[in-house]
Structure 1
Amino acid sequence: MDNITYSVRFWKTKTYKGAKVTTHTVRWVVGGREWKEPFRNLAQAESFRARLMTAAREGEAFNLRTGRPISWKREESALSWYAFTLAYVDSKWPYASPNHRRGIAEALTDGTEALLIGEAGAPSRDLRRAALRWAYSTRIRDNVLPPADLIHVIRWLEQQTVQVAAFTEPGKGATLARAVLDRVSRTKEGELAAPNTANRKRMVLNNAMEHAREMGLLPANPLKAVKWTKPRTLTTVDPRTVINIEQARRLLTAVRRHGERGARMQAFFGCMYYAALRPEKAVDLRREHLVSLPDDGWGELRLTNAEPRAGSRWTNNGQPRERRALKHRADGETRPVPIHPELVTLLRAHLKEFGTGPEGRVFIGPRGGLMTDRAYLKVFHEAREHAFTPEEATSALTDVPYSLRHAAVSTWLNAGVPAPQVAEWAGHSVDVLLRVYAKCVHGQQSDAMRRIWDATRP
């Protein structure tokens, strides 16, 4: 058989002492590949290691896909869905961004709800979901004991999810797979979920099933055996949300008039509109990124990092935000962006009035803290009400700050800037750029129709 080997070596059990929890990790090598299994109790770790060593001494073959003796196959196939998801989360944690970790946890939480054995004696749904959120944070689970009100819930979950092998049972497997797909396609309240959300969760569950197949727990991905129509996703920017330059100037002026907080945020929102920065990049903007701010004309930005908000549960540092490389780029890569003359003026005025904060941050709160989502969203929505006409305010026009970025990219494209150049400035591939952002700025339809009429009239 190609998937077995007799080449097995054992390493010393590694002990890690966290703030509140000590973890003992058994380590061994099968066919050149290292395997690890963590335990909270040293006796359990040594017992597991002894079983492995006994199998090796007795000349038993080891499975290259699972790292276990082949005689353990039946035992492995009896793994519960809950235990499997913990192993899956742990395997993804070191390589996933904080927001992706959160997305994995959300998908697995919904999927697990569809795979409970029964409701008899079950804790409340809110408690079950809270326990799963705790369990799916590897950093917290490895270092902090579960809250007292969740201990019994976790014990219940350990016993009340189906076995992974149930997906292989004729008839039952397809029913379970369909139940999982149906659950991730709906909200917690049972309504149809947004297509993008449903498909994102479906991708996570599909990847988890592939992981189970690679581990030898399943012969094939059960989700692929179910005929399922994926919801249509919105892949293009709705032109009704995109503002023109006159509307943008009105909005930025209204932000400025919103007291001291607004004054601190005028250039912040200006970076989104004129330089197409995502909110997490504007939050992370440092003085060193402002390569050029001339007295007159265009300036230049050189972006190096972003600081997306994922929540303290999903970051490595335990803070709501964690500084990372630019989206879709390797560590150390940078991205140039031109600074529109009007944004140069805003930034120069901002630095003169407020200076910079810790670590050279350009945008900080009145007390020197980070620019928080809650703070800038409040100012944005209140300024929007003052800046727009009643018809504009009740429409979808720039209903979220991210729409300012859409307007910037659309403006560049409509101005005739070549797509490869716009893609570099915006941090996209050309394919994504043309598929998602190639929309006209709000208000240009009449101009387009006039040009068509001029070209076709007698």
Structure 2
Amino acid sequence: MTQSVKSAPQDARESGHPEDWQERVFSSDVRVWKISKVRSKSAPYQIRWVVAGDVKYASFATYTLADNRRSEILQAMRRGESFDIESGLPESEVRRAEAAEAAKAEEKPDPTWWAFAHEFMKRRWRTAAAKTREGLADSLASAALGMMGDGPDAPELLTVRLAVRWAVVPGHEGEEPPADLAEVCKWLAGNSHPLSSLKNSVVAEDVHYRLAYRLDGKLAAKETYKRRRRGFNAAMAYAIQMGYLDENPIDGLARYATAQTGSVDPRVLMNNVQAQEFLTAVSYIGSVHRNRGRRLVPFFGCIIYAALRPAEVVGLRESDCHLPEEGWGEMTVWETRPVSGKRWTDSGERHDRRGLKMRDPDTKRRVPIPPILVAMLRAHLEEFGTAADGRVFQNERGGLVGTSSYWRVWQEARPLAFPPYKVESPLARKPYDGRAKAITDWLRAGLPVAEVARRAGTSPEVIDRHYAGLIDESEEADNEKIEKAMGWGPADPA
């Protein structure tokens, strides 16, 4: 006997929503065979039963387990239960499974990616630095490209990224989106996939692709991909914590090849003569009245001779500097002023105020500085003084030195300092290349890697990964040491 019924848990049937029910076909035509043994090391004992002519199988590791399951099926038959033709299960088991699934769905909300991105950023905002906030927003915006519907009315990918980056800022909650993003925000609110769609491997792989590739289809830079994946992983950790997901859907996906290697390109490094010529060229940038370049000579000197990060130089104060008339001086670095944009900072200013990168907030770093940099800083303070809050470097109006300002001066100085073929080369393309010069000089001087890492404010692992390959001038000397130790060198004169 076969019957077709609308099958659903009891609460769903009473809800009056037949669309929630599932069509199932049950039959009382059931026969059970004896336990058989099959070729399988893990589950050699198999039971078979037939529901309306459809054979069902189940394998077990031991005979006892197989016999117990066969007994459960026989007991259901004796009770007169019908069996589901598709799964082969007794009706009582089907009902229990449906009820458990409904309860599980009831326990786990399933927000859309659009709603989840807002919720996650609101939770993380208070404890995250401005740069971290911006990075998290970029990760969420990149993933949004794989978590949205498609069709002829789908917005352009670039505007989707811009819309998500704007919308997830908690301070924008309740505000009307900018005119050019209003329609995109409205579309995404109604067309973003639910978080549970990440369980689909196709969706998860597409999201992973969006983290690793640019909009033009080219691989993103290595650090960009790492930052986006860290941000997405943080979002998934929150989703698991809130019970939205059971696991990170991209944990098992291999990392993409990246657009650059971890080692610094040796072509970016200035030698000492080039560094001096570059700083001299900086002093000629801008009019005499504005002193745009002269204000930045020691700014770049702190990067080239002390390996400070630009954001650390921006926040440097006179009270942090010991500048004797002769010999080596010292800086105590404890504050950074990275540029993040007004929307990401608590103060509403473009520059955030943070402690040292990847360090506890109260950590301070002592950096010895050579006499040449001491002299630069002394001359600078004598000519320009300090800002109102004691900062060593200030712009023409007394404010913070902006990223665009020092980048522009750096680029204008290169053609003055280097011959044309060097200007076209990677040599000193950006301020961070000056930091690479300082770190490399210290390594070549023979400082232990741990001490170089301490002065530069990073880890020995980073120094080894990015800079160790640049110390190749010592190869000949190292070979001579090996020859001497092995007795292979030329004989000593009699």
Name the TM-score, length of structure 2 as normaliser: 0.72
Whole-Å separation in 2 of the counterparts to 1:221 and 1:349: 55
Q: Could you say which residue in structure 2 is the equivalent of 1:116?
A: 148
Whole-Å separation in 1 of the counterparts to 2:252 and 2:146: 18
AA in 1 matched with 2:203: L
Q: Could you say which residue in structure 1 is the equivalent of 2:114?
A: 82
What does residue range 334-349 of structure 1 map to in structure 2 within 5 Å?
Answer: 334-349=364-379
Q: Could you say which residue in structure 2 is the equivalent of 1:318?
A: 348
Confirm whether residue 283 of structure 1 aligns to residue 314 of structure 2: yes
Whole-Å separation in 2 of the counterparts to 1:212 and 1:153: 25
Whether contact under 8 Å (1:77, 1:164) holds in the other structure is no
Counterparts in 2 of 1:386 and 1:148: CA distance versus 1, 3 Å: closer
CA offset at residue 73 of structure 1? 4.4
Confirm whether residue 373 of structure 1 aligns to residue 403 of structure 2: yes
AA in 2 matched with 1:108: L
Q: Could you say which residue in structure 1 is the equivalent of 2:243?
A: 216
CA offset at residue 148 of structure 1? 4.4
Whole-Å separation in 2 of the counterparts to 1:187 and 1:80: 24
Q: Which of residues 199, 224, 227 is equivalent to 2:226?
A: 199
Q: Could you say which residue in structure 1 is the equivalent of 2:166?
A: 134
- Point out which structure has higher relative CO (alpha carbons under 8 A, 6+ apart): 1
Whole-Å separation in 1 of the counterparts to 2:445 and 2:392: 29
Whole-Å separation in 1 of the counterparts to 2:328 and 2:175: 51
What does residue range 385-424 of structure 1 map to in structure 2 within 5 Å?
Answer: 385-424=415-454
Query: What's the secondary structure of 1:302's corresponding residue?
Result: strand
AA in 2 matched with 1:105: A
CA offset at residue 96 of structure 1? 1.9
Q: Which 5+ residue runs of structure 2 have no aligned equivalent?
A: 1-101
CA offset at residue 144 of structure 1? 4.3
Counterparts in 2 of 1:256 and 1:187: CA distance versus 1, 3 Å: same
Counterparts in 2 of 1:207 and 1:284: CA distance versus 1, 3 Å: same
CA offset at residue 375 of structure 1? 1.4
Whether contact under 8 Å (2:144, 2:161) holds in the other structure is no
Whole-Å separation in 1 of the counterparts to 2:415 and 2:489: 41
Matched-pair identity in %: 37
Query: What's the secondary structure of 1:117's corresponding residue?
Result: coil
Give the greater-gyration-radius structure (CA). 2
Q: Could you say which residue in structure 2 is the equivalent of 1:37?
A: none
Q: Could you say which residue in structure 2 is the equivalent of 1:36?
A: none
Q: Deviations over 1:284-317 (max 9, x none)?
A: 1111111x21111001111120001111121111
Q: Could you say which residue in structure 2 is the equivalent of 1:67?
A: none
Whole-Å separation in 1 of the counterparts to 2:104 and 2:315: 50
What does residue range 181-192 of structure 1 map to in structure 2 within 5 Å?
Answer: 181-192=208-219
Q: Could you say which residue in structure 2 is the equivalent of 1:7?
A: none
Whole-Å separation in 1 of the counterparts to 2:248 and 2:157: 28
Whole-Å separation in 2 of the counterparts to 1:133 and 1:377: 25
Confirm whether residue 266 of structure 1 aligns to residue 297 of structure 2: yes
Point out 4+ residue stretches in structure 1 off by more than 6 angstroms: none
Q: For the aligned residues, what is the CA RMSD?
A: 2.4
CA offset at residue 147 of structure 1? 2.9
Counterparts in 2 of 1:344 and 1:227: CA distance versus 1, 3 Å: closer
CA offset at residue 128 of structure 1? 2.8
Whole-Å separation in 2 of the counterparts to 1:433 and 1:174: 37
Whole-Å separation in 1 of the counterparts to 2:268 and 2:372: 22
Q: Could you say which residue in structure 1 is the equivalent of 2:380?
A: 350
Counterparts in 2 of 1:109 and 1:199: CA distance versus 1, 3 Å: same
Whole-Å separation in 1 of the counterparts to 2:324 and 2:255: 56
Q: Deviations over 1:210-236 (max 9, x none)?
A: 322222112222212445545475222
Q: Could you say which residue in structure 2 is the equivalent of 1:234?
A: 261
Q: Which 5+ residue runs of structure 1 have no aligned equivalent?
A: 1-69
Whole-Å separation in 2 of the counterparts to 1:81 and 1:181: 15
Q: Could you say which residue in structure 1 is the equivalent of 2:71?
A: none
Whole-Å separation in 2 of the counterparts to 1:369 and 1:201: 32
CA offset at residue 411 of structure 1? 0.9
Counterparts in 2 of 1:278 and 1:143: CA distance versus 1, 3 Å: farther
Whole-Å separation in 1 of the counterparts to 2:477 and 2:253: 51
AA in 2 matched with 1:116: M
Q: Could you say which residue in structure 2 is the equivalent of 1:57?
A: none
Whether contact under 8 Å (2:342, 2:350) holds in the other structure is yes
Query: What's the secondary structure of 2:251's corresponding residue?
Result: helix
Q: Deviations over 1:66-99 (max 9, x none)?
A: xxxx969437433111111211222222222211
